[in-house]
Amino acid sequence: MATRTKKRPNLLLIAIDSLRRDHMSLYGYHRLTTPHIARFAEQGTMFRHPFSPSVPTTPAYASMLTGRDCFGTGVVGLRHKGDVAAPTLPEMLEQAGYSTCCVGFPGNPAARGFRTCLEYEGWGEAPGAMPKAHALNEVTVPYLRAAAASGDPFFLFLRHMDPHSPYLPPAPFDRLFYEGDELDPANRSLDGLYAFAPFADYFRSWFPGKVTDARFVDSLYDGAVAYMDAAIGRLFTALDELGLAENTVVVITADHGETLNEHDCWYDHHGLYDSNLVVPLIIRAPGKLPAGLQVDPWVQTKDLTPTMLELLGVDAGLEFDGRSLLPLARGEPFVPESELYLTEATWMRKHGWRTPEWKLIHALEPDFHFKPEVELYHLVRDPEELDNVADREPGVVALLEERMAAHVERREAQAGRRNPMFTQLGWHGTGDAPFASAQEAYRKLHIGSRRQAQRLQAHLADRKREENPEASP
């Protein structure tokens, strides 16, 4: 009698935009923000120190979905022009017989290869609450039903837009973590935000009134995290109800974190501070990864594709910049990369070097916050990165600059291309030249409303549609 061959495992990759690890109760945060993900983690393996070293969204997802660093992908900017310079995970899995679908990701360069792209309202039209996570579930659960009925292996990628700003979760999450008067005129904690012209109009477009209390905005972020967590709980239930849970690898992570009322960056994800670089990572793979295991060594977003391929039993025949994390889960030797090359090109073009002790940030052109060209933080004494000691530690600056330059030179030679931080000079969308001064950057970089912010995120999708109007929505 012939033995029925078990089909390959499915893959569900849940990528949560702007989720900082230290605001998850799963990772020790004092507010109960992620109870559903915490229960999920009890069934899987949790990585305690994952980093997304290239922010923002576009380079982070490019790395996550290729297994390459920014030299391997050629992507560093939000407004990336051109393609990703490496095969993508959906392309690899399509060749292995997988049905591939992304939700909320059309137009992103790293979305190349998804057979189906589904959209949902991730920003909202009218003032008030924005049920982004519910809207995502409304298109995702029907896809899961159809996938379960077909019996074919699938790769489903979800881009969650909670807790990305605007932080406007529906009730009761909007006031779950706040009591007080957010409009108190005597509270001056947001004066700096309203004085920052590039962003002030954007916040006025979605703040519920003339909010004065920064604690309230912080609580809205936490409420959006809790709302997202509850919505993901619905997806866990769907997997169970449809009989998919036991044969589906589920990965939960984020493209980057978020800066709240810190570093004068005002509720966004620019700045090479750890609030933006630290992300969560939890993987549940029944029979393949231990339940309840917590892994300490540093890992990176570039490690995800080789890890997921090994969990699925797919050999793509490619070499990656990242490494499979399964040896860590098996207790096998694994030497982590203890030094990270950092990049950002959203509102500022900077790169940096992070060790367990030090963080160097070097601006490649003047930025609109008028910050110094070089920042240096002693992460052991100053984990919140508040005391720039660059002028007091010139020797450390020189050492880290030398190590960073050597890494760049080595990776340029290995990748066969120049560091994209030095070639993508139109990263800001206002021309192809670097800013000559901080004043110029301050004047040109402006977000006027949440609808304008949505257009900024969606510009690549619009360009893709113009180039190929017959493509699937």
pLDDT digits (tens, 9 = 90+) for 10-54: 999 999 999 999 999 999 999 999 999 999 999 999 999 999 999
What residues pair up with 12 in beta bridges, in sequence order? 156, 250
pLDDT digits (tens, 9 = 90+) for 240-274: 999 999 999 999 999 999 999 999 999 999 999 99
Whether 23 and 221 have beta carbons less than 8 Å apart is answered as: yes
390: tokens are 């660059």
User: How does strand 248-254 pair with strand 10-16?
Assistant: parallel
Q: Where are the alpha helices (DSSP H) in 375-449?
A: 394-415, 438-444
Q: CA-CA distance, 455 to 447, in Å (whole number)?
A: 10
Q: Which domains does the chain have, with CATH numbers?
A: 10-180+215-330 (3.40.720.10), 341-444 (3.30.1120.10)
Number of residues assigned to the chain: 473
pLDDT of residue 470: 39
Q: How many CB atoms lie within 10 A of CB 67?
A: 30
283: tokens are 């993987």
pLDDT of residue 452: 57
Query: pLDDT tier at 454 (50, 70, 90 boundaries)?
Result: low
Query: Among 102, 146, 145, 161, which Cα is nearest to 473's?
Result: 102
Using only C-alpha atoms, the chain has a radius of gyration, in whole angstroms, of 22
Q: CA-CA distance, 472 to 195, in Å (whole number)?
A: 43
What residues pair up with 284 in beta bridges, in sequence order? 250
Whether 254 and 15 have beta carbons less than 8 Å apart is answered as: yes
419-448 mean pLDDT:
90
Task: Please state whether the peptide bond connecting residue 198 to the residue before it is cis, i.e. omega within 30 degrees of 0.
Answer: no
**Per-residue pLDDT for 462 more than 90?**
no
Phi, psi angle pair for 294, to nearest 5°: -120, 130
What's the chain's average pLDDT?
92
Q: List Cβ neighbours of 48 (8 Å cut-off, separation of 6 or more).
A: 27, 294, 295, 296
Buried b (16+ CB within 10 A) or exposed e, 217-256: bbbbbbbbbbbbbbbbbebbebbeeeebbebbbbbbbbbb
Query: Among 320, 298, 300, which Cα is nearest to 310's?
Result: 320
**Per-residue pLDDT for 123 more than 80?**
no
**Per-residue pLDDT for 349 more than 90?**
yes
Phi, psi angle pair for 276, to nearest 5°: -95, -20
Number of continuous H segments (helices) and E segments (strands) in the chain: 14, 15
Phi, psi angle pair for 173, to nearest 5°: -70, -20
**Per-residue pLDDT for 459 more than 60?**
no
Q: Which residue has the tokens 């880290």?
A: 400
Poorest-confidence range of 76-80, 122-126, 337-341, 389-393?
A: 122-126
Q: Where are the alpha helices (DSSP H) in 31-101?
A: 35-42, 57-64, 70-73, 89-95
Q: CA-CA distance, 473 to 459, in Å (whole number)?
A: 14
Residue type, 10: N
Q: CA-CA distance, 144 to 150, in Å (whole number)?
A: 10
Q: CA-CA distance, 337 to 266, in Å (whole number)?
A: 31
pLDDT digits (tens, 9 = 90+) for 296-310: 999 999 999 999 999
Query: Among 105, 98, 161, which Cα is nearest to 134's?
Result: 161
**Per-residue pLDDT for 61 more than 60?**
yes
